[in-house]
Amino acid sequence: MRWMLLALGLLGGVSAHASTSEQRGFKVFRQVCSTCHSLDHVAYADLSGLGLTQDQIKEYAAQHQVPDGLDEDGDPKTRVARPTDLIGSPYAGEAMARMANHGSVPPDFSRRAMTQKGGVAWIVRMLQSYAEAPAGRKLPPGSYYNTAMPHGHIGMPQPLHDGQISYEDGTPATTKQMAEDLGAFLEWTARPHLAARHLVGVFVLLYLAGMYVLLLLMKRRVWSRLRQTDASRNF
């Protein structure tokens, strides 16, 4: 099933389902979030669901390296990513991720919209809740004041700032706008094949409808012949 969905994506048959907010959210992820966060369950080819062409997908994949077993000396080696590869993590392993983030591993974005308590709405709110700590408020080392967090602090520096990226469609890249767009992208990453599944469902329904009509015609033809046979015998 996964290969069927990837094939539909590569054919560009589902790109029309992507919203402009999801597309902008992918840009936020690519330029801001991808340096720390992974997409372990999303393939480069899946990005066709956001409207990317095959050439754009190949170009984006070619900017990344993926593990490719061991070399002759037994050391890990890599190769250029292909569209069918999972996007994965920006780090070589969990140890590297912890080393770069004060002992914590940044959460994977693939299913974040479904696994985070409060869902996307909470994530969008959290991204807009950074502020200066009140006078006298002491924060743990390496943490930042954030009113959305239960204890009022978070280990991630404020990632979004007004105007830090430019949207091709001219939408002002405010912190609020980028947070909402990233939220839309996270909704998509949780179900990257949803549009393709809808398309497969349409094909299945059309197939079943065609089979129903065919069987109905065959039934009528068979019964017509049986009636003719009975009529000739009675005559």
Mean pLDDT, consecutive 10-residue stretches, the chain (235 aa), reads 50 55 97 97 95 96 93 91 97 93 93 94 98 95 96 96 97 98 96 56 63 76 71 59
Model pLDDT, residue 219: 76
Name every residue whose Cβ is closer than 8 Å to that of residue 39 and which is 6 or more positions away in sequence: 86, 87, 88, 108, 109, 110, 189
What is the rounded CA–CA span in Å between residue 210 and residue 221?
A: 17
Model pLDDT, residue 224: 74
Model pLDDT, residue 4: 52
pTM of the model: 0.76
Model pLDDT, residue 195: 54
Helix ranges (H only) for the chain are 2-10, 20-28, 54-61, 94-100, 112-115, 119-127, 175-190, 194-234
User: Rg of the chain's alpha carbons, rounded to an integer?
Assistant: 26
Nearest residue to 96 via CA among 81, 76, 116, 72? 76
Which residues belong to the annotated binding site?
33, 36-37, 156
Which residues belong to the annotated binding site for heme c?
33, 36-37, 156
The answer to whether 189 touches 47, Cβ cutoff 8 Å, is no
Q: Count the neighbouring beta carbons within 10 Å of the beta carbon of residue 146.
A: 22
Model pLDDT, residue 198: 47
